[in-house]
Copies of this chain bind each other. A is one copy, B any other.
């Protein structure tokens, strides 16, 4: 499938009815995943909230994992070495293990597995990997999902502003700095990684109100401020956070380029913002004349590691 068609399949992906069974009670969730697979856990944890959720993007799981832990391993390829290492540890600790993957080693370990379609870049399969978490662990009305599907289909048509931003970013070689806040904290990280992976440009994300406690002074006083392109995502869920954003801009002289959200519920808004990040990072690759699909260095690194 062409890269752009992979991006375009996102509205369909979130209609997936896949889910896993909860076999027994749990009092915490650990989601293990790297990169485009791990981001699924981060997005989910910001939407959930019914128990502690820790996302592990590393080789080792927390000491506390035990039989009361719901352990969800997400690896699109099914062969991610960090994720496979964590599953082995989770099994030794007796955790309840579920798997989301398109195949690979992970699909052969005998755990209940949600199989997602193969042949895509992991970062383009976010909807397929997120849906089973929403379906299994959150009670979301089908009408809300249908509404999200509708909203997401409008993003590409509305993306001329995103294309223009991509041009502003690339024309003088600026590094995007995405400012997130509830409910877009994980989405800001997703945008950063999409600029990295699709656009092959460095990118930064930070969070309001935390930003005010450390980045306010350097946003005014640091050399190099002019090398960044600051982006704010939609409207923060709290008015006082929005006030912080306006005052920060006022005090530092930094202009935050705002990206509009679509939809009416929090889930719809978050999904729409994620999808806008897919397009803007895709446009960056196109403007730079690079292949957004290219992951050659990561493949080379994996082969040198093994």
**Chain A residues proximal to chain B, CB less than 8 Å:** 27-28, 34-36, 38, 49-52, 54, 57-60, 62-64, 82, 173-175, 182, 192-193, 195-197, 199-204, 207, 209-210, 212-225, 227-228, 238, 240-241, 243-244, 247-248, 251-252, 290, 294-298, 300-301, 304-305
A36–B49 alpha-carbon span in the complex (Å): 26
A236 to chain B, nearest CB (A): 10
Report whether A63 and B34 are in contact in the complex, using a CB–CB cutoff of 8 Å. Answer: no
A197–B210 alpha-carbon span in the complex (Å): 13
Report whether A212 and B64 are in contact in the complex, using a CB–CB cutoff of 8 Å. Answer: no
Q: Which residue of B lies closest to A244 (CB)?
A: B305
Copies in the complex: 2
Which residues of B lie under 8 Å from residue A58 when comparing CB positions? 182, 207, 209-210
A54–B29 alpha-carbon span in the complex (Å): 12
Report whether B214 and A59 are in contact in the complex, using a CB–CB cutoff of 8 Å. Answer: no
Max chain B C-beta neighbours (<10 A), residue from A217, A219, A221: A217
Which residues of B lie under 8 Å from residue A213 when comparing CB positions? 34-36, 38, 57, 193, 298
Known contacts A201-B223, A300-B251; decide if A82 and B49 are in contact (CB<8 Å). no
Known contacts A201-B222, A209-B82; decide if A52 and B35 are in contact (CB<8 Å). no
Report whether B221 and A200 are in contact in the complex, using a CB–CB cutoff of 8 Å. Answer: yes
Report whether A219 and B197 are in contact in the complex, using a CB–CB cutoff of 8 Å. Answer: no
Report whether B251 and A209 are in contact in the complex, using a CB–CB cutoff of 8 Å. Answer: no
Which residues of B lie under 8 Å from residue A52 when comparing CB positions? 28, 52, 54, 62, 64
Report whether A214 and B197 are in contact in the complex, using a CB–CB cutoff of 8 Å. Answer: yes
